[in-house]
């Protein structure tokens, strides 16, 4: 049998657009053609096109389609749209498109694009990095930008930002290579060793949101001084991924199952900082003790109903309705971090719980949010077991781990 020749894939080919995006692209190109025929200037041409900083594939298709027109104004139009792009993908595509125009006889000025090599102190590719911690229960995260000292006059910008109050601190450090291991060890000793590296623009967006909303917060002025440099080398905040578009969508048919799974997700160490404190949980622990000490003879089912009522009451008090948007936003962020860690099922579970918190039409008949209720249930179990006599190997407590039912068998 004759062996078939293997066909090499075109690894550099740009993926096709979705049909609706193809139609939008065709409409914009047609509008540019009409404007060119009417003698429009660059400003009028630019108004007919919509580059998308969050979608490089759209920009590459737009660049190629406009570049195919071959009109004398096209090089300047492309330079105006994409000449300031800092990412490698767009800059490479722009240079290629301009080269193709030039080879077809279209005049392309030599100084059309800024010369990259004249930017003093520009870091080599791959020498800037970002690190973020998971978001804590109080809405705080550490954001660390790392880069060559010639960019920021320091190699680490360490910021603690709060999603409601802005910067808590922002410190620029210049740490020599032999001391950097100590820097990272300090974070590990503080329990902050689980760092993630999202796209740089995402970290920049976190910092810029804190700055624009609370420019008077501590550390905001330090960020403000460095802001334009950060945009230049780490990317602009508008280029950050949109989490609603980046995360895999949750099938409506799976929403109920994933919500139930979110009870177990509440036990994950990533969410330990989300647990209520001892003083916050104390009143509800006392109510559970009342159920245990009740003179009434209760069946397991009756006890379960009473315990569930305590859990619902505690969840409503500890996570009141006016804070639910905050918790939903934080949970969506954590869904993204789980996605970055490759934990796709847990990411979908967190996203389902976040969507339920963000839904203003959530029915009160559906009970408390399973994830938040799981946090309360786990905290009550820990507190209950902590107050039992140490000699009891299997204490006769009341609250089982989330997802296992509410009663513990002695």
Provide the H-helix boundaries in 38-167: 42-47, 56-67, 74-82, 88-103, 149-152
Shared-domain flag, residues 197 and 262: no
Average pLDDT over residues 14-24: 83
Shared-domain flag, residues 84 and 61: yes
User: What gap in Å lies between CA 397 and CA 135, rounded to an integer?
Assistant: 31
- pLDDT attached to residue 191: 78
pLDDT tens digits, residue range 363-407? 444 568 899 999 999 999 888 888 776 655 444 445 555 555 444
3-state DSSP call for residue 365?
helix
Sheet containing strand 166-173, edge to edge, reads: 129-132, 140-146, 156-162, 166-173
CB 133 within 8 A of CB 188: no
pLDDT tens digits, residue range 207-252? 999 999 999 988 899 999 999 999 999 999 999 999 988 888 888 8
Q: Is residue 37 part of a domain?
A: yes
User: For residue 142, what are the β-bridge partners?
Assistant: 160
Average pLDDT over residues 156-179: 92
Average pLDDT over residues 119-128: 48
Q: In the chain, pLDDT over 70 holds for what percent of residues?
A: 84
User: What gap in Å lies between CA 197 and CA 58, rounded to an integer?
Assistant: 25
Provide the H-helix boundaries in 153-214: 180-189, 200-213
- pLDDT attached to residue 212: 94
pLDDT tens digits, residue range 292-351? 777 665 667 777 788 888 889 999 999 998 899 999 999 999 999 999 988 999 999 999
Domain boundary pick from 118, 151, 172: 118
Shared-domain flag, residues 111 and 62: yes
Shared-domain flag, residues 108 and 189: no
In eight-state DSSP terms, residue 143 is E
Total structural domains within the chain: 3
- Structural domain of residue 30, as residue ranges? 19-118
Domain boundary pick from 187, 205, 239: 239
In the predicted structure, residue 51 carries a pLDDT above the cut 60: yes
């Amino acid at each position: 049998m004759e062996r078939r020749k293997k066909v090499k894939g075109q690894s550099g080919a740009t993926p096709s657009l979705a049909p609706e995006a193809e139609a939008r692209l065709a409409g914009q190109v047609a509008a540019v053609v009409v404007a060119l025929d009417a003698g429009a200037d660059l400003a009028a041409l630019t108004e007919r096109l919509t580059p998308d900083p969050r979608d490089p594939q759209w920009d590459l298709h737009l660049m190629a389609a406009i570049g195919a027109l071959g009109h004398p104004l096209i090089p300047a139009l492309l330079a105006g749209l994409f000449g300031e792009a800092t990412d490698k993908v767009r800059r490479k595509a722009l240079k290629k498109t301009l080269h193709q125009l030039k080879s077809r006889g279209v005049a392309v000025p030599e100084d059309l694009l800024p010369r990259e090599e004249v930017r003093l102190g520009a870091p080599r590719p791959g020498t800037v990095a970002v690190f973020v911690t998971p978001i804590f229960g109080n809405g705080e995260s550490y954001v660390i930008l790392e880069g060559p000292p010639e960019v920021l006059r320091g190699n680490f910008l360490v910021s603690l930002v709060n999603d409601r109050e802005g910067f808590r601190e922002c410190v620029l450090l210049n740490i020599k290579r032999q001391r950097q291991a100590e820097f990272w060890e300090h974070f590990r000793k503080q329990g902050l060793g689980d760092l993630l590296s999202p796209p740089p623009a995402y970290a920049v967006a976190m910092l810029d949101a804190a700055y624009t909303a609370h420019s008077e917060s501590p550390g905001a002025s330090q960020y403000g001084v460095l802001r334009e440099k950060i945009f230049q080398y780490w990317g602009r905040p508008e280029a950050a991924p949109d989490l609603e578009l980046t995360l895999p969508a949750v099938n409506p048919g799976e929403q109920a199952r994933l919500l139930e799974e979110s009870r177990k997700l509440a036990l994950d160490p990533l969410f330990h900082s989300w647990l209520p404190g001892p003083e916050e949980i104390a009143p509800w622990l006392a109510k559970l003790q009342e159920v245990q000490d009740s003179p009434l003879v209760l069946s397991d089912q009756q006890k379960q109903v009473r315990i569930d009522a305590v859990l619902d009451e505690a969840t409503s008090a500890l996570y009141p309705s006016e804070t639910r948007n905050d918790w939903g936003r934080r949970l969506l962020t954590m869904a993204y971090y789980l996605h970055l860690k490759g934990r796709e099922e847990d990411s979908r579970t967190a996203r389902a719980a976040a969507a339920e918190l963000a839904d203003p039409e959530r029915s009160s008949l559906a009970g408390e949010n399973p994830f938040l209720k799981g946090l309360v249930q786990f905290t009550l179990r820990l507190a209950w077991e902590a107050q039992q006599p140490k000699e009891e190997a299997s204490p006769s407590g009341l609250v089982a781990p989330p997802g296992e039912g509410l009663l513990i068998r002695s």
